């Protein structure tokens, strides 16, 4: 069954389903199989894997085969370089180079070096994908956040200035009232000020000081 590249047709209820898995930026749609659809799906997967294994020259080559094709296609449409750092062409060139170095280490039987190089390949591929898919959104979000912080700072400064102005007004009015009637308590003065200019008498009482 595993050598067949064209899975046999089966009857019965369709068990092929698409569902969303993961969260946030790692959310992705996957296809699941069940019932009579599972066997042909496994056969098709095995066929694709065997073909990639043969073409790629092993398990590592099979896993990176599609990425090799993508990178080669990118560079085929580009000039000879040099390419801007972290451009799509730069990533393609670096990924292909590291894939080649990894395969060379595998051919020499150097498992430790192959593992290290393979890790770099995976990191580069992931980095390139994230940059291509999310960089513009991240930069726009960073710009929006910076703008919001600037607006918030300005709003806070305005509120602080207004609060200082109110306290200075309250204190000036309190000084005048105590100058005319020194026997008035802070509570009484605060109530008079609140009646004249508005505000919470208890807040005003906490902010004014008898000189």
Residue at which a domain ends, from 56, 83, 98: 56
For each of the chain's 211 residues, which pLDDT tens digit applies?
Answer: 334 455 444 444 557 888 888 888 788 888 888 888 888 888 888 999 999 999 899 999 999 999 999 999 999 988 877 899 999 999 999 999 999 999 999 999 999 999 999 999 999 999 999 998 888 888 888 888 888 888 899 999 999 999 999 999 999 999 999 999 889 999 999 999 999 999 899 999 999 998 8
27 in a structural domain:
yes
Do the Cβ atoms of 24 and 18 come closer than 8 Å?
no
b/e string for 17-55 if b means 16 or more Cβ within 10 A? eeeeeeeeeeeeeeeebeeebeebbebeebbeeeebbee
Tokens 């393609």 appear where? 92
Q: Residue 11: its pLDDT value, please?
A: 45
Q: Residue 2: its pLDDT value, please?
A: 35
Tokens 């513009």 appear where? 136
Supply the pTM of this predicted model. Answer: 0.61
| Residues spanned by the domain of 166 | 155-207
Q: Say how many domains are in the chain.
A: 2
77 in a structural domain:
no
Q: Residue 5: its pLDDT value, please?
A: 56
19 in a structural domain:
yes
Helix (H, G, I), strand (E, B) or coil at 33: coil
Helix orientation angle between 38-56 and 59-76, rounded to the nearest 10 degrees? 70
65 in a structural domain:
no
How far apart CA 165 and CA 172 sit, in angstroms, is 11
How far apart CA 185 and CA 193 sit, in angstroms, is 12
21 in a structural domain:
yes
Residue at which a domain ends, from 11, 34, 56: 56
Q: Residue 211: its pLDDT value, please?
A: 82
Q: Residue 143: its pLDDT value, please?
A: 87
Tokens 């498992």 appear where? 111
């Amino acid at each position: 069954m595993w050598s067949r590249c064209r899975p046999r047709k089966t009857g019965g209820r369709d068990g092929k389903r698409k569902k969303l898995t993961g969260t946030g930026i790692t959310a992705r749609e996957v296809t699941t199989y069940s019932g009579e659809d599972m066997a042909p799906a496994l056969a098709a997967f095995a066929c694709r894997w065997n073909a990639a294994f043969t073409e790629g020259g092993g398990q590592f080559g099979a896993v990176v085969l599609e990425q090799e094709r993508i990178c080669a296609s990118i560079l085929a449409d580009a000039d000879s370089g040099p390419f801007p750092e972290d451009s799509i062409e730069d990533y393609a060139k670096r990924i292909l180079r590291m894939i080649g170095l990894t395969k060379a280490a595998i051919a020499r039987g150097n498992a430790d070096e192959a593992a290290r190089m393979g890790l770099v390949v995976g990191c580069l591929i992931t980095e390139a994908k994230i940059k291509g898919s999310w960089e513009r959104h991240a930069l726009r979000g960073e710009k929006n956040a910076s703008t919001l912080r600037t607006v918030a700072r300005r709003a806070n400064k305005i509120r602080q200035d207004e609060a200082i102005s109110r306290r200075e007004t309250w204190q000036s009015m309190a000084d005048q009232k105590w100058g005319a009637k020194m026997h008035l308590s802070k509570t009484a003065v605060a109530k008079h000020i609140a009646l004249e200019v508005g505000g919470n008498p208890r807040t005003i009482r906490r902010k004014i000081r008898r000189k």
